[in-house]
Structure 1
Amino acid sequence: TSLIEDAKCNFTGVIGLMTDLTKIKNMQDKLKQKENLAILGEMTAVMAHEIKNPLTGIKFGIEYLKTILEDNQDAVESIELILNEIKQLERIARDMTNFARMPNISSEKFNLVQLIEDKIKIHKSEMKEKKININFDKCSDCVNYYGDPYLLSEVFNNLLRNSIESFDNSCNKKNINVEIRFNDDNDTCLIIIKDTGIGIQQENQKKIFIPFFTTKRGGTGLGLPTVQRIVIAHNGALTLNSKLGKGTTFIIELPSIICNE
């Protein structure tokens, strides 16, 4: 800030210079988030390793015990229950490994609209059976995109799965709307997945991206954290809006690495 004086040294005004640090602050926040996720990934990898090592030996031992006790029906049934629990632990360890070993992001041109359409088709029969209506609003400005199609496919598949599982018998309307939109304000591509499901409780919305937090029976709590990690690796952002009894909206914001030729 500088003061303005006239020829007689009287103050006549003030010159002020202001700098918008919003973008810099956002970049710093994203960098800090990436660092935290990297540390968490290393911890998760160690935990997964410590689970898998003894689990392999336990599984072989139980399966051998099953062959010895095959004539004892009660024992075999108990062993089957134990093996099912081991399978659950194996799945948890596998999900932890996948979360920890986030591959390097590839950069290739692909059809973003087609990618999302393919994911919708995969769930089409299940949605038809559950009487869920789905609508896809496409955007001609966001057809061809540069990024990792394999990892982004995992993102859309996971979020669609969450929307499908958000409905219960209390839902009168079962609608899912997927929209791709170009945001002129900050040159980003928005992918919006909105459902009219049961919604998420307010206290859980702050925890939903925390690894291992889950409200689903048998869930590992790594699905949405993995999704968020993939989006952040693309220098994007993932946000959530939800109202209990009204539905949930996930918004993926990706940088405009778009090719329309």
Structure 2
Amino acid sequence: MKYNFIIITIILLSISLLSSLIIIYSIINNQIINFENQLIEIQNNDNSNKEIQKKVNLFRVLNRKKSIEITRALTLLLSINLIIILLLLSLYIYSIQKPINYFYKKIKEIKINNIDSYKQIEPKGSIEIRSLVLAFNILIEKIINYQKLIGDINKFQGWKQISRIIVHEINNLISPIQTYTEYLLEKQSDNDKLNFILLKLNDIRNVLQKFREISHLPDANLFIANIIPLIKEVIYEFKSVELLSNIEEIYLFIDPVLFKEILRNLIKNGLESGEKTNVKIKIVEENENIFIQIIDNGSGIKEENLDKIFEPGFTTKKGSIGIGLSIVKTLVEELNGKIKVESKINEGTNFIVEFKK
């Protein structure tokens, strides 16, 4: 609002000054023309008097010289006025661009895997920009709080309700940020940084989509089902996945929807563990237990991270929020199963899901 008032004031003063210069020039120019006409009239009326003719010619020369001086002076004033306007406009543009650049720099410094270290951005600039920064600070604060909440997700039986709350609340925070950014996008000539902000908002929406998918998973409805068709159905959704088993029937007491969700997450995790990675699914029967192994030939997991990968919020992937494997563990336990992991760097990883027959 303050900057809008400044620019409007500059424009009004400029118009006023330009109008005044034009009016003054018109008045002076008319007077010069009238004086010139009077001199011509005197000259015509008294052609015989050489002294008067001489003085008239002298006055005409002086009049024209004065006219040129006045024109130059007014041109100089007009040029100075335009320079002042350009300087003030440049200052105004800089005053808007500076806080946007500052905001852009701070956003680039945010690390999704270390968001707890985030320091609130100081609001600067116009009301619109300050509102944008404040909304963004609130958004990050909410994300940090919800990340801590996710860290305790296994302590909550109502984790799906928590996910719904997260999606709803953060969506409400994103909307004003996107509105302010799009508003500024229409006003600025340099849109790269504002487009970067919109891109980051889109990344946050993609994260929310993951929460939304989690929140819509049904409650466990356990019954005896043949898992082989379920495994084949999930495999069909991916490339580079192979089932290493000729068994046609294995019946377990499970929820088919949640069972397929477990497989999807583990297969996706394996395929994303390296370039040109393949995933193989192996089924092993031992006594009263069924072991489903999801094996990949990816980059592997460091030994010191093996005990952490099922912890909510832990991730080594860029752009990930680290809830996929935590949710897998929760779903496996809802189906009364167990999950563990074996891995070697540069050789691959084997997730082993165990169920009772």
Instruction: Give the structure 2 partner of residue 202 of structure 1.
Output: 303
Greater RCO between the two (CA within 8 Å, min separation 6)? Answer: 1
| Distance in structure 2 (CA, Å) of the matches to 1:57 and 1:37 | 22
* Residues 295, 348 of structure 2: 8 Å contact kept: yes
Instruction: Give the structure 1 partner of residue 42 of structure 2.
Output: none
Instruction: Give the structure 2 partner of residue 135 of structure 1.
Output: 242
Residue pairs, 1:72-221, within 5 angstroms: 72-75=188-191, 77-96=192-211, 103-124=218-239, 127=240, 134-138=241-245, 140=247, 142-168=249-275, 174-184=277-287, 187-221=288-322
**Between structures 1 and 2, the one with greater helix share:** 2
| Distance in structure 1 (CA, Å) of the matches to 2:213 and 2:307 | 23
Q: Deviations over 1:67-88 (max 9, x none)?
A: 564363523x333322222233
**Between structures 1 and 2, the one with greater strand share:** 1
| Distance in structure 1 (CA, Å) of the matches to 2:208 and 2:161 | 9
Instruction: Give the structure 2 partner of residue 251 of structure 1.
Output: 352
Q: Secondary structure at the match of 2:237?
A: helix
| Distance in structure 2 (CA, Å) of the matches to 1:167 and 1:50 | 31
- Per-residue deviation, 1:236: 0.5
* Residues 193, 250 of structure 1: 8 Å contact kept: yes
Amino acid corresponding to residue 155 of structure 2 in structure 1 = I
* Residues 52, 93 of structure 1: 8 Å contact kept: no
- Per-residue deviation, 1:192: 0.7
- Per-residue deviation, 1:253: 0.3
* Residues 197, 248 of structure 1: 8 Å contact kept: yes
Q: Which runs of 5+ in 1 are unaligned?
A: 1-35, 128-133, 257-261
TM-score, normalising length from structure 2? 0.50
| Distance in structure 1 (CA, Å) of the matches to 2:331 and 2:322 | 15
| Distance in structure 2 (CA, Å) of the matches to 1:47 and 1:104 | 14
* Residues 196, 248 of structure 1: 8 Å contact kept: yes
Q: Is the counterpart of residue 237 in structure 1 residue 338 in structure 2?
A: yes
Q: Secondary structure at the match of 2:326?
A: helix
Amino acid corresponding to residue 181 of structure 1 in structure 2 = V
Amino acid corresponding to residue 207 of structure 1 in structure 2 = K
Q: Is the counterpart of residue 59 in structure 1 residue 162 in structure 2?
A: no
Q: Which runs of 5+ in 2 are unaligned?
A: 1-151
| Distance in structure 1 (CA, Å) of the matches to 2:212 and 2:155 | 14
Instruction: Give the structure 1 partner of residue 324 of structure 2.
Output: 223
| Distance in structure 1 (CA, Å) of the matches to 2:330 and 2:163 | 18
- Per-residue deviation, 1:57: 4.1
Amino acid corresponding to residue 176 of structure 1 in structure 2 = V
- Per-residue deviation, 1:160: 0.8
* Residues 48, 93 of structure 1: 8 Å contact kept: no
| Distance in structure 2 (CA, Å) of the matches to 1:44 and 1:106 | 15
- Per-residue deviation, 1:37: 5.0
Amino acid corresponding to residue 155 of structure 1 in structure 2 = I
* Residues 189, 253 of structure 1: 8 Å contact kept: yes
- Per-residue deviation, 1:113: 1.2
Q: Secondary structure at the match of 1:74?
A: coil
| Distance in structure 2 (CA, Å) of the matches to 1:74 and 1:41 | 49
| Distance in structure 1 (CA, Å) of the matches to 2:237 and 2:300 | 23
Q: Deviations over 1:208-245 (max 9, x none)?
A: 00001000011110000111110011110001000112
- Per-residue deviation, 1:149: 1.1
| Distance in structure 1 (CA, Å) of the matches to 2:253 and 2:158 | 28
Report the identity percentage: 27
- Per-residue deviation, 1:205: 0.8
Q: Secondary structure at the match of 2:268?
A: helix
Larger Rg: 2
Q: Secondary structure at the match of 2:267?
A: helix
- Per-residue deviation, 1:47: 8.4
TM-score, normalising length from structure 1? 0.66
